[in-house]
């Protein structure tokens, strides 16, 4: 007898979540209720500090909720054994805004790290010495125009190039859900548009669900079929693109610093400016 496959990848009910931090920080996500179906593409927007990063970490099973219910692929992950939960995580990928890429590592190795969850320890060690499946890493870099950096060192990449390496790593991981945090923050408007289009095309071609936090409100509104607006840790609106009005966006950001396009110097933000942006 085959087990029933849920049409939802995520179902959240009255979810309260604290951020990933030491001690007992205050709850930042409050009473979130939403569903995400397989294959959906969703933009997550809102002022800085609204809880977008915390929500993505929670959906990636890196952060246990304080209250409420969360189902992932039709099961309750925090009621499972740690081994079963680890197996569930293999079907998800979280690409952070500042990807943790070792500076002396080659891009090919950084990209292939997306396969670590599926490799044995011995295979992973061998790949550090002589990268296996380098062709797969090259193919994953092509959609982001990064294939010429295959054997470059990570510490010689700009901030935007590192973000695109992280997205190539996600493609190599071959997951069912892509959770991407501010992937365009170090890119100029032209490259941001191209990168987002490639990311969405890759997700659609794989039948993967894509949930992406963005400060580029115009891109979020223009490119994503569904937009969730977060404000002060609560869902301010959750609506199809056509239903999201200028008034709703103005209310979402009322009293907050308005989102602005990144600085454009050459074709993307240099590493120094990207680092400054991450510290704000």
Where exactly are the structural domains of the chain? Answer: 1-91+177-182+209-259
What whole-number distance in Å separates Cα of residue 181 and Cα of residue 93?
A: 11
For the chain, give percent helix, strand, coil, nearest 5. Answer: 40, 20, 35
Contacts of 29 (CB under 8 A, 6+ apart): 15, 16, 17, 51, 54, 55, 58, 233, 234
- For the entire predicted model, the pTM comes to 0.86
What whole-number distance in Å separates Cα of residue 214 and Cα of residue 210?
A: 12
pLDDT category of residue 22 using cuts at 50, 70 and 90? low
63-94 pLDDT, tens digit per residue, is 999 999 999 999 999 999 999 999 999 999 99
- Are 31 and 4 contacting, i.e. CB atoms less than 8 angstroms apart? no
Which range is least confidently modeled, 21-30, 106-115, 132-141, 204-213?
21-30
**Assigned CATH topology for domain 1-91+177-182+209-259:** Rossmann fold (3.40.50)
164-181 pLDDT, tens digit per residue, is 999 999 999 999 999 999
Q: Which of 206, 183, 212, 181 is nearest to 20 (CA)?
A: 181
What whole-number distance in Å separates Cα of residue 222 and Cα of residue 276?
A: 28
115-133 pLDDT, tens digit per residue, is 877 656 666 566 666 667 7
What whole-number distance in Å separates Cα of residue 162 and Cα of residue 100?
A: 9
Q: Which of 225, 224, 249, 222 is nearest to 237 (CA)?
A: 249
Contacts of 212 (CB under 8 A, 6+ apart): 41, 42, 43, 44, 178, 179, 180, 183, 196, 199, 220, 224
């Amino acid at each position: 007898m085959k087990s029933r496959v849920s049409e939802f990848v995520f179902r959240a009910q009255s979810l309260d979540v604290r951020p990933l931090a030491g001690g007992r920080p205050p709850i930042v996500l409050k009473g979130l209720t939403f569903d995400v179906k397989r294959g959906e593409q969703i933009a997550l927007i809102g002022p800085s500090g609204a809880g977008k990063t915390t929500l993505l970490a929670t959906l990636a099973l890196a952060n246990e909720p304080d209250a409420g219910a969360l189902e992932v692929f039709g099961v309750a992950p925090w009621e499972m054994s740690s081994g079963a939960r680890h197996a569930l995580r293999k079907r998800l990928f979280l690409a952070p805004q500042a990807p943790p890429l070792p500076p002396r590592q080659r891009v090919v190795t950084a990209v292939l790290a997306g396969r670590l969850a599926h490799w044995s320890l011995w295979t992973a060690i061998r790949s550090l010495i002589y990268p296996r499946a380098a062709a797969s890493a090259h193919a994953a870099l092509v959609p982001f125009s990064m294939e010429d950096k295959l054997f470059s060192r990570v510490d010689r990449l700009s901030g935007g190039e590192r973000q695109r390496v992280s997205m190539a790593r996600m493609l190599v991981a071959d997951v069912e859900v892509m959770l991407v945090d501010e992937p365009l923050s170090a890119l100029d408007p032209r490259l941001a548009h191209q990168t987002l289009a490639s990311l969405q095309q890759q997700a659609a071609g794989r039948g993967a669900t894509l949930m992406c936090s963005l400060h580029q409100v115009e891109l979020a509104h223009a490119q994503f079929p569904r937009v969730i607006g977060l404000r002060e840790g609560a869902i301010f609106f959750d609506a199809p693109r056509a239903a999201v009005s200028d008034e709703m966006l103005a209310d979402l950001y009322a009293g907050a610093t308005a989102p602005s396009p990144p600085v454009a110097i050459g074709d993307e933000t240099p590493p120094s400016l990207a680092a400054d942006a991450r510290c704000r």
